[in-house]
Structure 1
């Protein structure tokens, strides 16, 4: 059979492997600019179908999703799906290492299935500094009807997008970084794209609401709270949690939480607050929770959160969040039926973030290497066997003492392995890390330098299972990952400045035979509509 016929056969077969009997949902999005002034200064905002935030992507477990994006910007565009596992399908991950961008005036259709997943997530632009201009929106993945949720059905759901905001144009921010200048402090905090005291959420007295809260900002951790109300934490990034009440929650960049809030207070209005953490200038995003039937608008002081630099409070709260072993999620079996603590660890990778100077420009590194993108996406280069695009093994499993360098490293990993990844942060600022295509067990988090002896402190029973984790200054965080998703996956700092200046890497999860075509049950074939660019154009 010719190469072309083989390609077409596998492309057609991919639709049957993506469980075509499951419901399909279709979205048509136009991405364009809109001149808006969220904090009183006009700037270009990226809108989706003229909306900011963009439309809610409301799905159910196992839905097949097609999102066609028409790019009306003046530069290339990609969208990524933060926390969506993209099972067997890094082809549609929407980051620069896996996809060629959608050029201005053109369109492309993302196709993926939310296989065996529930939870609260969001999407955002992944190229350059476009996330600084908006373009984000919420994703809900609901339980199938046959799988009950482990709490009483809420009266309604609210999607709450919180994040820092800069008045500077995103293209100017990008150019400033390219010229060697650091980002200034953000100008404010938005709640659902609105400035302080402009967003309003209406509660019916006595009703319980599910709030799906995502920090969609660029680099600032935020503390979220509602005056006079406790929040019952129920889910984070696709995992149901042990139910606990919190008066406030630290939500780090890229993280999503679901809480239940009951309108059981006197009938009036209350402040909803998202305030900055671990920065020298305190910033506030403020909205109102208005009880139906009350016309009284809240005035007075905002409810207090934790002190600005109280890292101990934040770490203790993070360690209090546990996986609920007794409930089901996307499948009927309990979450705790996967006994991760009994699985042998096959490999340990220690990733240490750092800072370097290259040509009078500050760069950020992982194990001494600052990531630079080649002209061809790594996924396409790997598929078409294009040489000299990326380097396997350049990013070692342990920090090295060599002089920091620029490079395009890929961590080579084997399908079905069970690995330990330790994020070591020797810097004075907080870090947040995200791995596309995966959730991981957050088994350890502590101050100081990690050593193998600290494994004795790991939570090997009910550690939270999520895709985005924080690492506090001068501390470490350890996660365990079951490599059950073939593909080329982006591991990145969620701090957009650090990521743009090199703090990311890719992990290639592959079978033992590198030259074998993956079984479509393990990884779908290359999509027929794939965009080619760089050296992949000629392949």
Structure 2
């Protein structure tokens, strides 16, 4: 198999008073202001910086595991182009759909303050029809960190179409560690040799996916990813699990991984020999190249599976004359306890600044009174003899009209606001139910897992404080175990088998937001819901108006 070699690079972004200049080469370019020819840039003032991209999404052929198959390309790239940006920049991404099926992109972990209109999921947006385009426009407001994007419609995620989305801090906000010598994304994920259309058809017929065929690193099979580093230097690796079903463990032979950030939160700088990364999660780690000149394995291996599948890449010291050989560095055992213990050590760095010049610990989330609680339980079920998944006995089905459009235009009969706040234990049924919340309330959200697998849940529009996790069923007495001081804030959380995980979030981002399983066959077959954070007075201060280019479909046609 051909080897892909690349040197870890570092992008330096230097802001002036109003202009951001990028010296990195890439598909995007910066502009300032609201240019007349770009009338799609609604709501941007002369002080706003806007970074523009144009994407053409097509099918292509690749053989990452040796089997030729159809994949998703963005501007001919697999994975898609990396987005490098800076806190508070506005992103304008014009997407041309050259596929033969509808398309949307979602921005995993991006808050999109005041505008769930840009979330890129079927509950908020009409999909881009084949042969047409749509321009996303949103601000990465008060965010830093490592994220990724991916296609959210159908089962396209199994075909690729994902890419890194990096948000650097502004120069005036110092990093809580020395500036690294280089920066690179490692997009790791399980992979199936079957085309996404075949996988989707299997699910539509009531089948199950089964085990993946392998693990990719940056879209490449064994030994395909080859990173060149310089001895003595320290690099920041942004590692995201972009797969569809499997928790992974990442490690580099003879090198420690110092975790410094996860999904926008600076963490305490603990070092690990290996790191569990569950589906949909991202971490930034520092790796110092302080070993003898040689080539070293980097491995992403499946967790809690039999057999264990390995994605293999190479870290190449620039002065190395020795190729990798011998056994792979060992990963952890299949025991859950190791993963749980590691999970509990990843906490907030209370003294570090985030996107603003005030310490993360200045937000005392543990002193805020909880105003509402919801317990959600995702479970495997069957409806009409076919495999489905449900949350609190409701298996979600996407209506023809996005919930956000129905809510905005007061179109009835699309969804119900009566999503149950606790599991009922009743038989599962199909529906589109929304959890109604209160603006500026403080929500305690508990994920209950009575299954034998590790579940992974994502909250669009928010980062939530992961305050507790334990075995058994959650009760009100479980609050006595909560970490109310330095729990990390993130958008994707794992729930261990026969266990619960509790998070807290301030409901300050108005909109209709997706709460979903990151395990994509479960999401596709109903393990998701939406929650509504209402705009109390209709003010544009709380939520931007509907974009002028918003697509219409279903009952919203003509509105």
- Which TM-score band applies after superposition, normalised by the shorter structure? over 0.9
Aligned to 1:495: 519
Contact 2:293 2:321 (C-alpha < 8 Å) held by counterparts:
no
- 1:145 maps onto 2:171 in alignment: yes
Contact 1:442 1:466 (C-alpha < 8 Å) held by counterparts:
yes
**Which of 196, 203, 209 is the equivalent residue of 1:177?**
203
Unmatched tracts of structure 1, length 5 or more: 1-11
Instruction: Please give the alpha-carbon distance, in whole angstroms, between the structure 2 residues aligned to 1:339 and 1:347.
Output: 18
Summarize the alignment of residues 170-319 of structure 1 with structure 2, pairs less than 5 Å apart: 170-308=196-334, 310-319=335-344
Instruction: Give how far 1:404 is off.
Output: 1.3
What SS is found at the alignment partner of 2:236? Answer: strand
- Structure 1 stretches of 4+ with a deviation exceeding 4 A read 12-20
Q: Sort the Cα spacing of 1:349 and 1:194 in 2 relative to 1 into closer, same or farther, 3 A.
A: same
Aligned to 2:548: 528
Instruction: Please give the alpha-carbon distance, in whole angstroms, between the structure 1 residues aligned to 2:67 and 2:518.
Output: 26
Instruction: Give how far 1:402 is off.
Output: 2.2
Report the TM-score, using the length of structure 2 for normalisation. Answer: 0.92
Instruction: Please give the alpha-carbon distance, in whole angstroms, between the structure 2 residues aligned to 1:286 and 1:475.
Output: 32
What SS is found at the alignment partner of 1:414? Answer: coil
- 1:474 maps onto 2:498 in alignment: yes
Contact 1:157 1:209 (C-alpha < 8 Å) held by counterparts:
yes
Contact 1:119 1:238 (C-alpha < 8 Å) held by counterparts:
yes
Aligned to 1:65: 91
Instruction: Please give the alpha-carbon distance, in whole angstroms, between the structure 2 residues aligned to 1:191 and 1:77.
Output: 24
Aligned to 1:6: none
Aligned to 1:87: 113
What SS is found at the alignment partner of 2:407? Answer: helix
Aligned to 1:134: 160
1:50-100 residue CA offsets vs partner (Å, 9 max, x unmatched) = 001111100100001100001111111000000011111100000010000
Instruction: Please give the alpha-carbon distance, in whole angstroms, between the structure 2 residues aligned to 1:499 and 1:19.
Output: 38
Instruction: Give how far 1:16 is off.
Output: 7.0
Instruction: Give how far 1:40 is off.
Output: 0.9
1:469-512 residue CA offsets vs partner (Å, 9 max, x unmatched) = 00001000000011110000000000001000000000010034
Instruction: Give how far 1:22 is off.
Output: 2.6
- 1:451 maps onto 2:451 in alignment: no
- 1:538 maps onto 2:530 in alignment: no
Instruction: Please give the alpha-carbon distance, in whole angstroms, between the structure 2 residues aligned to 1:19 and 1:414.
Output: 30
Aligned to 1:101: 127
1:133-190 residue CA offsets vs partner (Å, 9 max, x unmatched) = 0000000000001111111111110100000000001011101111111102100000
What SS is found at the alignment partner of 1:333? Answer: coil
Aligned to 1:9: none
Residue correspondences, number:
522
Report the TM-score, using the length of structure 1 for normalisation. Answer: 0.95
Instruction: Please give the alpha-carbon distance, in whole angstroms, between the structure 1 residues aligned to 2:46 and 2:415.
Output: 35
1:357-376 residue CA offsets vs partner (Å, 9 max, x unmatched) = 11110110100110001110
Contact 1:14 1:524 (C-alpha < 8 Å) held by counterparts:
no
Contact 1:414 1:511 (C-alpha < 8 Å) held by counterparts:
no
- 1:335 maps onto 2:355 in alignment: no
Instruction: Give how far 1:353 is off.
Output: 1.3
Instruction: Please give the alpha-carbon distance, in whole angstroms, between the structure 2 residues aligned to 1:101 and 1:224.
Output: 35
Aligned to 2:147: 121
Contact 1:17 1:521 (C-alpha < 8 Å) held by counterparts:
no
Contact 2:236 2:285 (C-alpha < 8 Å) held by counterparts:
yes
What SS is found at the alignment partner of 2:73? Answer: strand
What SS is found at the alignment partner of 1:162? Answer: strand
- 1:425 maps onto 2:449 in alignment: yes
Instruction: Please give the alpha-carbon distance, in whole angstroms, between the structure 2 residues aligned to 1:265 and 1:119.
Output: 28
Aligned to 2:400: 375
Contact 1:488 1:508 (C-alpha < 8 Å) held by counterparts:
yes
